[in-house]
Structure 1
Amino acid sequence: IEESGTMLSPTYKGGELRYGPYTVAEFERRYLSAHVTTALDASTTSAEEGGLHEVEFIAPYRQDGSRTLIGGLVFLDDDAKAVLGDEENWLAWLGDLQIGGERRYGFGRLCCLEFQTEENAPERYRLDGERPLVRVKGSEPVLAHTPANDLRGRGEIEPLVGRQTDTRRSDAFGCRLSRCKICWVPGTLVEDAEWFEIEREGIWGKKTP
């Protein structure tokens, strides 16, 4: 999230996770909201057991009424250029995006206001493999969950578990759990410079180029 030209990326300062100048509680109060729905049981006209569903999301407007601005990276390799064309066509393609989960409810719609080429891309990013690689310098934060088994860092560790839905069963929403991974949380400071691969589910896995 961008505020006054500064990215509020997670990082540890003084042993505490912060987003720019804000503590976690302050950041969540300013930028997070939730949407709750439930299925109804026709026989009782009340909430169906196990049907309560809550979605937490980044609020489109801040407390002061101004638009929430989100900054990020889009990796376009030679294969993408062949489909999307040159840079003049990218703004049109990036002008209307929908990301994340719950897209059927209209969540995750983004409009690109501007974009610019990353100047130090060869030093920090690599696109010559199957997935993008990001280089994080020593004492810099990782910006996603990262497996903790072979990475030295300063931050917090937590189990990362996801809920999966069996589309063949209407009563199995989120009932199946993914395999647990013990990860450093986003914002953890790495001890040494490392390369990370952005995996398909958003986890950054340590990898040697």
Structure 2
Amino acid sequence: MKQSSKLTIRDLVTIGIFTVLIIMFGLIVSMVSRIATGGLSILISGGLSAFFSAPIYLLLSFRVGKRGVAFLNALLRSLMYVIMGVPHVLLIFIPAAILAELIMTPPATAYKSLGKTSLSWAVFSTFNALHGPLLFVMLGAKYMMEKAPHSPSTERLALMLNYYYNPWMIALIGGLAFVGGLVGCLMGWKLLHKHFVRAGLVKL
């Protein structure tokens, strides 16, 4: 029996659950990174989150395997910031979600492709890591600080302003997220084959 190419209620629930897991895992990685590295976390937390969350996303992508997974995952992740009172992230996340989904074309084969799934995840992870710097540049630091749900310390704010307006630092943040996403997917691919394919939870 041929599998439907349209998302079902079960698929939507699966996307929702896995996206919540990705959000929670990313927050934990970011908090640990901040505690362990202090101000350096501004540069590396995006890359670390992309790396450690990649296996979860890879499992989601291969398990559902239909058009809309990348877009809905990105959209749901943006809603977290909207709920926190920062709707401006939609300026970054909506284009990123569309681009991530377009990479997964054609969906019938792309959602079974390690290469395209990894690229889609890496691209979105790059936008995710850069949403702070991009919003600071687009809307201004003063405006963003007024809208921030939690104001950073004076020391951390100084570092953010130093990094976010430095092209080399922005390139470093984005580059680490992109590479972290790719390498994380390679690690996830091995875990997928070792555990989930053998258990029959994922069919490739």
TM-score scaled by length of structure 2:
0.24
Q: Between Structure 1 and Structure 2, which shows a larger proportion of helix residues?
A: 2
- Return the structure number with greater relative CO, CA threshold 8 A, min gap 6: 2
Q: Which has the larger radius of gyration?
A: 1
TM-score scaled by length of structure 1:
0.23
